[in-house]
Structure 1
């Protein structure tokens, strides 16, 4: 019995040593600066008859975005920065399965809130020919004037009720599908005043996290060792009773 436990202890120690020697288990991907195959552009509502004005100046180490929403309150007004991770339409979406946070280094003026939007491919509802059917994950981020570093847990992003209505999707299709990210946006907050200019300078944005695969494998291995130890103990106990 003691020999069995000694062997199991040695195996357990070997598993822990192997786990410690495994490669880096962290995941990190840059949203900005831009990586190859990603496009970035600004947009506003002018093509739809609005009067909002958006501008963008892209540099290697930063992008300056500014916008003033149109003052005609009888019309919707919008503007934003849009990252397209699949500009060629080849379904080369980003795998953010292991992402647990979004980290921003930004400089803000003229607003106290921005919206972050992550658009994901949902095989149950997404028609790649219709941008609105990509599932929206949204988060309102309070900001202050000046440069700031902000980390947002991915679990805080949610699919708003209006997306289901706009996309014509049944609310029962509520799985996140975080592993297939097609687009990323920064837009003004819900209460951004009309006619007031605001700007966001992006110095860096990253999606980061830690993979739990290795840890899960270690837990499974220890579960097997525990089962073996308990089974061995019961066998010896039954033999002694006989």
Structure 2
């Protein structure tokens, strides 16, 4: 089931037709509060979320959805096209971003791709390194046995590092594979997220053992023994 959170009746109608034609059940919500409540109640396979909504902004709805269910795919739909807004949304956990005017078929393809990514089997559902244990099936991270709160993209980044352990990964690759950027604006997104992972998971963040900087190239996750 696809949840469409959009206040424009014309867009609602177009998306309802597009998704139902492809065999999806579709639920429509016309404001942010209704949309967030519907997401929690219905547990959709994917969410199409307008950025400019009455009641509660798309930014807040996205943040609310991801804090409740980090794996629910959210594709944002908006007339706002500034790079800064895209970066903010992606940092808050949005899986993709489509700018109005748009092709319903393109949006369908983006939503389907986001759903496939979240349904991809994880090679290591539960792993440990040092005093940290990560259970990706339950999205639970602990350090010294105590829960550690990570944002949706911090978990995605950690999972990507685990799946690519001991391999040097460029910032551009991380922006493409974790944030799904198709271009690479000047941004500190990757560096800021890795800094947060170090602060939360390293014993000494100033001298990281697991999340290592490869100067001039990118980063490498070293799980250790």
* Length-normalised TM-score, structure 1: 0.24
Whose helix fraction is larger, Structure 1's or Structure 2's? 2
Structure ID, larger Rg: 1
Which structure ranks higher in relative contact order (CA pairs < 8 Å, sequence separation ≥ 6)?
A: 1
Whose strand fraction is larger, Structure 1's or Structure 2's? 1
